[in-house]
Amino acid sequence: MEKVKIAIIGAGPAGIASAIEAKASKIEPVVILEKSDQICYTINKFYKPGKRVDANFKSAGIKPIGLCSFETETKENFLKRIENWTKQWNLDIRFKAEVTNITKNGEGYDIWIKDNPEIWAEFVIIAIGIFGTPRKPSYPIPSELKNKIFFEPPQQQFENKKILVVGGGNTAAEVAYSLCDNNEIYISYRRPQFFRINETNLKILNEKAKQGKIKLLLNTDIEKLEPFDDKIKVYFKNNKEDIYDYIIYCLGGSTPKRFLQKIGIQMDNKKPSLDEYFETNLPKVFLVGDIAVEKGNIMKAFNTAHIVIKRIKEKYLK
């Protein structure tokens, strides 16, 4: 098997930052294993052209403590920045290398790629994010509706359709106002007001609502769905019902709990159990980025990478 010093699982912002911090500290060889065919898969796929990439989403004033930093910029500029970093630091990224298991082997770990043990690493940094597992509603989705239900922002274009967007975060707001000029858009949110949307998105959403382009269904909860004449009949818990062409769920992602538990990482109230340096109960296995800190904050993700590499140097590589 190939032997490396650090194996990083995931080529998102946190994974890229971890590799840069390691190489800057002369800890090599380092390999990044990415299951998709591109860096920053979530931003590439889910962010629309021109969308802002916030350095400090939901948490103002987070200062960089490591090598990686940026100011809020567009999707295109951010991805170009990351691409330049990968070239500048000559990062070894293996695409279409989905890690299916991690098992202890001596002083390190065997990394299983597509169910085959291919790499042995002394240290493992898991930076897989959370959006690979979209959160789904608790009620059943009839199989007849599978082509009319989306659990992530759809890539296809809609025109003259009646669409229900379910969720109360930034993704729900952005999906709604990106579709509202050519469609009849409704947002269903279980709370009486939005509180997870940033100021810019909330302002745009309220303007579209005042213009009548988006109908806000606040304090509503869905009880069940049924097929209805090639459409979707939605039953709300307030005894109201309506019919839509499509439903787009924007409920966020969930920690890839099954994978973490499979490799032996302990969970604490559905979250991975970590120490202050983001090390798990498995010695030399660390988590960075969204699965370690509040999701969506890239500056925090960059900082976790710095903290983890510094900890590896001070604790294990004196």
Residues 243-272 pLDDT 10s: 999 999 998 776 688 889 999 999 887 789
pLDDT of residue 294: 66
Residue 258 and residue 245 share a domain: no
Of 200-204, 291-295, 303-307, which gets the smallest average pLDDT? 291-295
Average pLDDT over residues 146-161: 90
Retrieve residue 78's tokens.
């951010």
pLDDT of residue 131: 63
CA distance 315 to 275: 13
The answer to whether position 81 is within a domain reads yes
The answer to whether position 242 is within a domain reads yes
Residues 186-220 pLDDT 10s: 999 999 999 878 788 899 999 999 999 999 999 99
Per-residue pLDDT band at 127 (split at 50, 70, 90): very high
- Please state the domain count of the chain: 2
Residue 245 and residue 185 share a domain: yes
The answer to whether position 207 is within a domain reads yes
Q: What is the CATH number of the domain that holds 295?
A: 3.50.50.60
Average pLDDT over residues 149-166: 91
pLDDT of residue 59: 63
pLDDT of residue 216: 97
Percent above pLDDT 90 for the chain: 73
Dihedral of CA 38/40/45/48: which sign? negative
Average pLDDT over residues 31-43: 94
Residue 226 and residue 152 share a domain: yes
Please provide residue 142's backbone torsions phi and psi, each rounded to the nearest 5 degrees.
Answer: -55, 135
The answer to whether position 118 is within a domain reads yes
Please provide residue 155's backbone torsions phi and psi, each rounded to the nearest 5 degrees.
Answer: -85, -25
- For residue 226, pLDDT over 90 is answered with yes
pLDDT of residue 290: 87
Structural domain ending residue among the three candidates 249, 277, 297: 249
- Non-local (6+) Cβ contacts of 164 within 8 A are 186, 187, 188, 232, 234, 242, 244, 246, 247, 248
Residue 126 and residue 29 share a domain: yes
Range of the domain at 15: 2-132+253-316
Residue 264 and residue 122 share a domain: yes
Residue 200 and residue 151 share a domain: yes
The answer to whether position 17 is within a domain reads yes
Under DSSP, is residue 159 helix (H, G, I), strand (E, B) or coil?
coil
Residue 259 and residue 205 share a domain: no
Residue 193 and residue 100 share a domain: no
Structural domain ending residue among the three candidates 225, 249, 273: 249
The answer to whether position 137 is within a domain reads no
- For residue 35, pLDDT over 70 is answered with yes
- pLDDT, averaged across the chain: 92
Percent above pLDDT 70 for the chain: 97
The answer to whether position 86 is within a domain reads yes
Retrieve residue 142's tokens.
């009839």
Residue 99 and residue 66 share a domain: yes
pLDDT of residue 296: 63
pLDDT of residue 12: 95
The answer to whether position 138 is within a domain reads no
Rounded-to-10 torsion of CA 171, 53, 208, 219: 30
pLDDT of residue 295: 63
Residue 270 and residue 213 share a domain: no
Structural domain ending residue among the three candidates 216, 249, 282: 249
Q: Between the CA of residue 135 and those of 138, 170, 253, what are the distances in Å? A: 9, 15, 5
Under DSSP, is residue 144 helix (H, G, I), strand (E, B) or coil?
helix
Residues 90-110 pLDDT 10s: 999 999 999 999 999 999 999
pLDDT of residue 195: 82
Residue 298 and residue 186 share a domain: no
pLDDT of residue 164: 98
pLDDT of residue 196: 77
Of 75-79, 149-153, 217-221, 241-245, which gets the smallest average pLDDT? 149-153
Residue 258 and residue 118 share a domain: yes
